[in-house]
Every structure is written in structure tokens, then in C-alpha cells.
Amino acid sequence: MHIPFVDLKQQYLSIQREIKQELENVCQNASFVLGPFVRTFEENFSKFIGIKHTIGLNSGTSAVQLAVQSFISPGDEVITVPNTFIATTEAITAAGGKVVFVDIEGESFNMDPAKLESAITPRTKVIVPVHLFGQPADMDPILEIAHKHKVFVVEDAAQAHGAEYNGRKAGSLGTAAAFSFYPGKNLGAYGEGGAITTNSDDIAGFVKMYRDHGSREKYIHEFEGHNMRMEGFQGAILSVKLKYLEKWNNARRNHARLYNKLLRDDPSVITPLEMSYAKHVYHLYVIRVPDREKLQQYLNENGISSGFHYKYPLHLQKAYQYLGHMQGDFPVTEKVMNEIISLPMYPELTEDQIEYVVHHVKKFHKINNCS
């Protein structure tokens, strides 16, 4: 049996008639950049998140950059975590900010609020909690600390489409939030895409202008912006797929429950924990094991694709040597990221496929006397 890590073709086949019709509509209207199909998606996504504004962009990286850029001046400090995709920190740097890391909680894989306040300085302007793998960070204490120090909060919700924190959708909790619609996301475009969500008219106005060369009106430019516009095709595709997001997220949650149940009796595996405040949407299903490199090799040999999210923490990568961090600076992150491996997870995954994956995880541990 061959089990891909994610299967985008299966999802497409289930909605291809609607997708083809919407793409035809875009072509018939010749509305290829921004325009009515992007506006419709922005309106639909705002209703889904429970927020006033959604501004469609060309990528999730652009979304983090412009959300952060709305609040800082060059050299201001922006706090985030070292266990995230580099897009988070690249975007902070592109916005003119200085990256400051804080460690994570081992249970949630998200920012540890207990370690946050000590990282705040007079130069801190923004906190960027990352809702990693589909589970929101513990936002109440983060927001309380931010309010105390008059610091803004930008959610990195790139992996948390439809996730909830105490009944509120990720993307509605901070002053602004950034989403990615990269194809493999729970809500994925057929190419690059991103968005910012916010209740602030000022932030929405700035982002709309910046994404379109600093312009409200064609050829009239109030400042130097950039080309970060969403394409009409992506807006149309995302509007179709948004109708199915809750169904697909529920399928992911059911798959996670089955994985948890079947892996319960393998003492070498620590399964992901859904925190009491969260509705986890399992963008990724991530377990902790003693020897992930060898497990991945064994799974590959048996037709099972897996991934490391992520292979090395950012503070120890060459790109961030200039920050001066050393091994041991963020011990929870370092320990967790040496143990995690992501198993196949997508809505169309079958029970037989999950059982096959679990069988080989257990078999590997039995062969290697890990249990």
C-alpha cells in the first residue's frame, strides 16, 4: 500500500465540477487580479471567522509581513517562537522588525505564556503567537500580557483555518491575523494565497493600499507599496472550498481520534494533546518518538510518506546566526523538535490507511525494542 502524506488530487476530484465552473466564470468575466471573485471570498471568510475585514493577498508570508508592518517602525522587536516555518520570521524581518524568540510548551507545541513577559523590552511592539499544526496558542494570557505592556498581537493562523480558542475562531483573537492558503493547508488555494483578518478599519485600509502599490485609485499612489494582490482564480477556488472546510476539518478530527486510539498502547509514542481551551483542526498529525529519523526511513520503505515539521529550530539555523543563539537557549523547542514526526493527514484518508500506518509505527518500535 502507498499512502501519501497529503492527497490534493482526491480532494479536487470531489469538487471538480464546482471548481471548473468557477474558473470558467473568472475567465468569462476576465477578472484575473482582485475583482469580484476575491471580494466575494473576502466577505465569505470574514463571516466564517467572525471578523469585520478580510484582505486577500498573494501569500501567507505577505500576510504576516503586512500585519506586522502595520504596527512597527524599523528596528522594533517582534516576539515569536523558534518552532515555526521560516516564513513567520522572514516576514517579520521583511517588515523591518527584529526577531525575538520565546520557548514553547511541550504539550501544545505553542508559545509558552509563562516565558513571554521576560522577553518584552521597551522596543517590543508586536507578539506573533503561531497556532501550530492546527491548534491555537493559549491566547488569553498572551493577550493579557500584551495589554499590560501596550503591545499588539498578530496571530499566525497559517495552519489554523477553522480552529477555535474557547469558542472563538483563530483569526479573530488578536489585533490582526495572518492566514496562508498554500495548497496543502486545511483551506488551500491552487497556487499561492494568503489573507489578513482584522476588525481595524485602519489596518484594513493600509493593507489594501500596500498590496496594490500604495494605491486607492489606479495610478494614484500615496506611498510605496508592493504587488501582493490575490488572483481572481484563487478567490474563486477558495470560495468553493470554504463551503466544505468544516466537513473536512471534522474528518481530520475523526482521523486524529482514530490515530490516538490505535497508538494508545505504544509506549514509544506520545500522541498530540488537544488543549482544554482548543478545537484542534489537525493541519498536521504530529507524534513524538525516540528515533524519528529511523522511523521515517522505515515508513518510507513501507510506502508511507511522513514529514518533519520542522527538522531544525530556527534559532539554530544559519539564517539566524546573527541573533547569537546557542544550543540550550530554548530547551523545550530543541527537545520537541528532535522527536516529532508528522504522519499522513488529510480529509480523504481512510480507516484502512490509518490502520496500515499505525501497524508499521508499532512494528518499527517492536523490531527496535523501543517499547
The pTM is what? 0.95
Phi, psi of 42 (to 5 degrees): -60, -45
- Nearest Cα to Cα of residue 196 among 41, 56, 300, 332: 56
Domains contained in the chain, CATH given: 8-103+111-242 (3.40.640.10), 245-367 (3.90.1150.10)
Which of the 8 DSSP states describes residue 336?
H
The tens digit of pLDDT for each residue in 8-27 reads 999 999 999 999 999 999 99
Residues 104 and 110: their CA atoms lie apart, in Å, by: 5
Residues 104 and 313: their CA atoms lie apart, in Å, by: 11
Residues 48 and 157: their CA atoms lie apart, in Å, by: 14
End-to-end CA distance of the chain: 25
Give the count of beta carbons closer than 10 Å to the beta carbon of residue 280: 23
Residues 203 and 66: their CA atoms lie apart, in Å, by: 9
State the DSSP string of 311-352.
SS-GGGSGGGGGGT--TTSSHHHHHHHTTEEEEP--TT--HH
Residues 230 and 26: their CA atoms lie apart, in Å, by: 13
Report, in angstroms and rounded to the nearest whole number, the Rg of the chain calculated over CA atoms.
Answer: 21
Q: How much is the pLDDT for 301? A: 96
* pLDDT under 70: residue ranges of the chain: 370-371
Strand partners, 195: 56, 179
Q: How much is the pLDDT for 369? A: 73
CA angle 30, 33, 38 (to 5 degrees): 100
State the pairing for strand pair 152-156/285-288.
Answer: unpaired
Number of helices and strands (H, E) in the chain? 11, 14
Evaluate whether 87 touches 68 at the Cβ level (below 8 Å): no
